[in-house]
Amino acid sequence: MTPASPPVRFEVWPGKAYPLGATFDGYGTNFAVFSEAADKVELCLFDTDDSGRDRETRIPLPDVDAFVWHGYLPGVEPGRRYGFRVHGPYDPAAGVRCNPNKLLLDPYAKAIDGTFDWNQSLFGYNFGDPDSRNDDDSAPSTAKSVVINPYFDWGTDRPPGHEYADTVVYEAHVKGLTRTHPGVPEQFRGTYAGIAHPVIIDHLTSIGVNAIELMPVHHFVNDSTLIEKGLSNYWGYNTIGFFAPDSKYGVSATPGAQVQEFKAMVRALHEAGIEVILDVVYNHTAEGNHLGPTLSFRGLDNGAYYRLVDDDKRYYMDYTGTGNSLNVGHPHTLQLIMDSLRYWVTEMHVDGFRFDLASTLAREFYDVDKLSTFFELVQQDPVVSQVKLIAEPWDVGPGGYQVGNFPPQWTEWNGKYRDTVRDYWRGEPATLDEFAYRLTGSADLYEHTGRRPVASINFVVAHDGFTLRDLVSYNEKHNEANGEDNNDGESHNRSWNCGAEGPTDDPEITALRARQQRNFLTTLLLSQGVPMIAHGDELGRTQHGNNNVYCQDNELSWIDWENADTKLMEFTRAAAALRAAHPVFRRRRFFSGRPVRPRASGGNRLPDIEWFAPDGSEMTDEDWETAYAKSIAVYLNGHGIPDLDARGQRVVDDSFLLCFNAHHETIEFSLPSREFGAHWTPVLYTAGLDPNEAAPVPAAATVKVDARTVLVLQAAPD
pLDDT in tens, 269-303: 999 999 999 999 999 999 999 999 999 999 999 99
Smallest Cα–Cα separation from 213: which of 193, 231, 195?
A: 195
pLDDT at 571: 97
Q: Give the rounded percent of residues in the chain with a pLDDT score beyond 90.
A: 85
Give the total residue count for the chain: 718
Where do the DSSP E strands lie in 252-381? 275-280, 352-355
H or E segment at 670?
strand 667-670
Is pLDDT above 90 for 476? yes
Assigned domain for 65 exists: yes
Catalytic residue among 42, 106, 171, 392: 392
Q: Which of 91-95, 98-102, 528-532, 592-596 has the lowest mean pLDDT?
A: 592-596
Is pLDDT above 60 for 1? no
Burial 418-436 (b: 16+ CB within 10 A, else e): bbbbbbbbbebeebbbbbb
Q: What is the DSSP letter of 710?
A: E
Mean pLDDT across 518-532: 98
Where do the DSSP E strands lie in 471-568? 530-534
pLDDT at 365: 54
**In angstroms, rounded to a whole number, what is the distance separating the alpha carbons of residues 318 and 360?**
9
Q: What is the DSSP letter of 205?
A: H
Instruction: Name the pLDDT band for 5 (thresholds 50, 70, 90).
Output: very low
Is pLDDT above 80 for 313? yes
Is pLDDT above 50 for 525? yes
pLDDT at 2: 46
Instruction: Name the pLDDT band for 598 (thresholds 50, 70, 90).
Output: low
Is pLDDT above 50 for 56? yes
Is pLDDT above 70 for 643? yes
State pLDDT tens for residues 59-99: 999 999 999 999 999 999 999 999 999 999 999 999 999 99
Q: Which of 244-248, 451-455, 621-625 has the lowest mean pLDDT?
A: 621-625
Catalytic residue among 261, 356, 423, 538: 356
pLDDT at 50: 78
pLDDT at 53: 87
Q: Which of 142-156, 160-174, 627-641 has the lowest mean pLDDT?
A: 627-641
Around 564, how many Cα atoms within 13 Å sit in the side-chain half-sphere? 20
pLDDT at 74: 97
pLDDT at 645: 80
pLDDT at 601: 45
End-of-domain residue from the set 147, 181, 201: 147
Instruction: Name the pLDDT band for 368 (thresholds 50, 70, 90).
Output: low
Is pLDDT above 70 for 672? yes
pLDDT at 508: 97
Q: Is 392 considered catalytic here?
A: yes
Mean pLDDT across 41-70: 94
Smallest Cα–Cα separation from 172: which of 535, 542, 574, 636?
A: 535
Mean pLDDT (the chain, rounded): 94
Mean pLDDT across 685-698: 85
Smallest Cα–Cα separation from 169: which of 590, 417, 535?
A: 535
Mean pLDDT across 111-137: 96
**In angstroms, rounded to a whole number, what is the distance separating the alpha carbons of residues 116 and 139?**
10
Residue 667 belongs to a domain with what CATH number? Answer: 2.60.40.1180
Assigned domain for 15 exists: no
Residue 188 burial (CB count, 10 A): 18
Mean pLDDT across 586-604: 74
**In angstroms, rounded to a whole number, what is the distance separating the alpha carbons of residues 158 and 326?**
33
Is pLDDT above 60 for 264? yes
Assigned domain for 473 exists: no
End-of-domain residue from the set 147, 170, 188: 147
pLDDT at 360: 81
The three-class DSSP label of residue 693 is helix
φ, ψ of residue 407 in degrees (nearest 5):
-60, 160
Task: Describe the chain by its helix, strand, coil percentages, rounded to 5.
Answer: 25, 20, 50
Q: Is 508 considered catalytic here?
A: no
Residue 118 belongs to a domain with what CATH number? Answer: 2.60.40.10
pLDDT at 20: 98
Is pLDDT above 60 for 7? no
Around 436, how many Cα atoms within 13 Å sit in the side-chain half-sphere? 23
Is pLDDT above 70 for 3? no
H or E segment at 470?
helix 468-471
Mean pLDDT across 464-483: 97
Burial 199-237 (b: 16+ CB within 10 A, else e): ebbebbeebbbbbbbbbbbbbbbbbbebbeeebbbbbbb
State pLDDT tens for residues 534-547: 999 999 999 999 99
Assigned domain for 502 exists: no
Question: Which residue segment(s) compose the domain that 616 sits in?
Answer: 589-715
Assigned domain for 490 exists: no
End-of-domain residue from the set 88, 113, 147: 147
Count of domains observed in the chain: 2
Is pLDDT above 80 for 651? yes
CB 93 within 8 A of CB 312: yes
Is pLDDT above 60 for 235? yes
Is pLDDT above 70 for 367? no
State pLDDT tens for residues 150-192: 999 999 999 999 999 999 999 999 999 999 999 999 999 999 9
Assigned domain for 28 exists: yes
pLDDT at 599: 47
Assigned domain for 112 exists: yes
The widest CA-to-CA distance across the chain, in whole angstroms, is: 94
Instruction: Name the pLDDT band for 594 (thresholds 50, 70, 90).
Output: confident
Is pLDDT above 90 for 679? yes
pLDDT at 490: 94
Assigned domain for 596 exists: yes
